[in-house]
Every structure is written in structure tokens, then in C-alpha cells.
Structure 1
Amino acid sequence: MQVSESEFELIRIFEDLSTLARYAIYKILEEKRELKAYDLVEELRKMNVTTSYSAILQHLRKMQTNSGLVEVFEKDGKIHVKLKKKVKIEVEDVG
């Protein structure tokens, strides 16, 4: 099967949103656009998603290197994350 570059990018985006924690991180960033990575711990708790700061950093690095959905960077000695791509998925019931 031949997969185009855009289809491959879509596959990587689906992979990056395939866990509850990563999807919740994406939804938070969709609303806030940028924040300190550590603040995600509390934001995720508000959504009933409990995870450690180190696990959050692993998720963010995966989302950055795999599909480029986010950018992780240091600012004022703290790790920050910024949303780089907004995802729109349309689902159509065909029968």
C-alpha cells in the first residue's frame, strides 16, 4: 500500500492523540495555546486525568517529535509548551 506524505502525517497525528492524557493535553493547549509544562499537572487533574510531571514531559516530547503538534521549549528556566498545529477531524456516518 502506498501512503502519501499527508496521509502519513495524519497517521502520526492520530498516534499522538491516541491516549487520554495526550488528547487532554491537546485540548488544554487548544484553549490556552501556551503554558508552563508543570501547569499541565493541575489542568489535567481538573479533567480527572492523573499523571506525573515526568510522564507529561514524555507525552509532550512524543507529540513534538512525532507529528509536530506541539513545541516544547525553555523560557525563564521553566519548560513551556505551545500548540503548533490545530487538528480538525470530520466524521461522517455512511450507513
Structure 2
Amino acid sequence: MKSLAALSKFSGSYDIWLELIKKHNLRWSNGNGALHTIKKIFDQNSSDIKSMIDWIRKVSAVLPEQYQNVLLFNTLTGRRPDEPQKAIWLIKTKESEYVDKE
């Protein structure tokens, strides 16, 4: 939000930016929520992370291998569920257009 406000001032469209804030009910945050989330993710003693890893292991054990790989890829990269599936589909159906071998 701070960067967008500065950019709108620089480009002379600050009035439009203020209208967008009102229209979409945007709010400034103090950043503590994001910091808390990051700490929780990297806290090794967090039961949430352990339960997530256990869930991934249980689900992977019953999935076909190709779906296990997609689930693992999504988990490790943080991708949205449909992004790797679209990439895999493009590689399988339009490899010459999708992959630049050079």
C-alpha cells in the first residue's frame, strides 16, 4: 500500500488511488499479522507444521504417483494447485511450444 501510494503521487494519480482505497475498502496494516504467520511457519515446535506434513504423507500414500508429485511440488514451491497441473498438461501436449530446449 505504501509503495502504491508513493507511485500514485509520483505519477500524479493520487486522487484515483484514494478513490480505489474507498471503493475496495482497502486498509493499512501494521504488519504484525504477516510476521506472526512467518514465525509460525518457521517455528519447528509448531504442531500445525507437523500436522500438515503428516497429512501430506498420509494423502500421498494413497495417491497415484503422478498426483503425489504434483502435491509435493505444490507444497515445496508454494504454487497454487492449478499452476503445476497446467504446466504439466502443456509439457505433455505442447512440449515444443512450451519448453525452450536452448
TM-score by length of structure 2 reads 0.27
Higher relative contact order (CA 8 A, sep 6+): 1
Structure with the higher helix share, 1 or 2: 2
